[in-house]
Amino acid sequence: MKVQVRNLDKVSILDCSGDVDLYSSPRLRESLLAEIRPGGPSVLVSMSGVAYIDSSGIATLVEGLQLSRQTQTRFGLFGLRPNARSVLELARLHKVFAIFENETEAVENIGSTSSGI
Amino acid sequence: MRIAIDSEPRLLSILRGVVRFCAREAGFSSSEAECLAMAIDEAAANIIRHTYAGRPDALLALEVTHFADRLEFILEDWGPKVCEELIHPRSLEDVRPGGLGTFFISSFMDECTYDRDFKDGNRLKLVKYLSRKGSPCNEGSSSQSG
């Protein structure tokens, strides 16, 4: 799995690709925890390159969500493939996360301000 | 088919590949195969994290047997005995990191039992029937394996 961070105006986008599992999720966690901080930009995770995500990957995203609430950082996901979306739905987390179809929609909704979600 | 790997998280992708292959060979759809791969991945990850406490040099084995009506997966480890009573899916109302692995295993598999006669560690049998409807894997998802 790879995580690349892009810094746009008031929003950081984490581009994830590959499998997010017990082996790789610590890398995603490290990147998320570095980006989500008080007074920091909004944070979006691009999931379009994620072919597989397990419970440790989901736990990492939930941890990011919780940290975003603590730090008043807007946080969201976009580009979920059907498998990842199904897994989130099964775990009833699809309504907990702010999920968008694509980057444009996500940036429009999440990237416009630095707090509120 | 039987495969044994070291208890290294980076090797879990090998197990997932084996399960996808066996599931497709047995006649499961690609989305069902993906769910089965996830269930076995979660069970193996639990062995690595809990039974072996993250030790990377222990052994775990997966045996897959195709019967006419089902696939049986046997996962073996040689760690301390698991306390079955402590293993149960957590409430989904509780939104917090962790604890979802057992939930996914029980959601994707039809049977999940420990072999009490296996003395040297733990032997977990997971069964998926070919014809049973109502699986969460069949509810509109398509496969995108990695």
CA distance B104 to chain A (A): 8
Token pair listed for A62: 């939930």
- Bridge partners (DSSP) of residue A4 are A15
Average pLDDT (B112-136) is 88
How large is the ipTM?
0.90
Q: Helix crossing, B30-46 with B101-108: angle to 10°?
A: 140
pLDDT reported for residue B132:
67
Average pLDDT (B73-87) is 86
Cβ-Cβ contacts under 8 Å, A29 against chain B: none
pLDDT reported for residue A114:
45
pLDDT at B142 over 80: no
Which pLDDT band, with edges at 50, 70 and 90, does A109 fall under?
Answer: very high
**Residue-range definition of the domain harbouring residue A16:** 2-110
Distance CA A95, CA A70 (A): 19
- Residue of chain B whose Cα is closest to the Cα of A18: B146
Count Cα neighbours of B74 within 13 Å in the Cβ-side half-sphere. Answer: 14
Q: Does A21 contact chain B (CB < 8 Å)?
A: yes
pLDDT at A4 over 80: yes
Cβ-Cβ contacts under 8 Å, A66 against chain B: 96-97
Token pair listed for B132: 């049973």
CA-based nearest residue to B50, from B26, B27, B22, B81: B81
Alpha-carbon torsion A80, B37, B10, B76, what sign?
positive
The top-scoring range by mean pLDDT among A54-58, B85-89, B139-143 is A54-58
Residue type (1 letter), A54: D
pLDDT at A60 over 50: yes
Which pLDDT band, with edges at 50, 70 and 90, does B131 fall under?
Answer: confident
Count Cα neighbours of B88 within 13 Å in the Cβ-side half-sphere. Answer: 4
Q: What percent of chain A has pLDDT over 90?
A: 91
Q: Domains in chain B, ordered, with CATH?
A: 2-137 (3.30.565.10)
Q: Do A55 and B98 touch (CB under 8 A)?
A: yes
Distance CA B63, CA A116 (A): 50
Flag whether A115 is in a domain. Answer: no
Q: Do A87 and B144 touch (CB under 8 A)?
A: no
Average pLDDT, chain A: 93
Average pLDDT (B2-16) is 97
Distance CA A10, CA A76 (A): 14
Residue B115 CB neighbour total at 10 angstroms: 12
pLDDT at A32 over 90: yes
Per residue in B22-72, pLDDT (tens digit) is 999 999 999 999 999 999 999 999 999 999 999 999 999 999 999 999 999
Distance CA B75, CA A17 (A): 29
pLDDT at A117 over 50: no
Q: Do B146 and A19 touch (CB under 8 A)?
A: yes
Show the 3-state SS of chain B: CEEEEECCHHHHHHHHHHHHHHHHHHCCCHHHHHHHHHHHHHHHHHHHHHHCCCCCCCEEEEEEEECCCEEEEEEEECCCCCCHHHCCCCCCCCCCCCCCHHHHHHHHCCEEEECCCCCCCEEEEEEEECCCCCCHHHCCCCCCCC
Distance CA A86, CA A48 (A): 14
CA-based nearest residue to B60, from B35, B72, B43: B43
Flag whether A117 is in a domain. Answer: no
Flag whether A6 is in a domain. Answer: yes
Which pLDDT band, with edges at 50, 70 and 90, does B133 fall under?
Answer: low
Cα B12 to chain centroid, rounded: 11
CA distance A62 to chain B (A): 5
Question: CATH number for the domain including A61?
Answer: 3.30.750.24
Tally the domains of chain A.
1
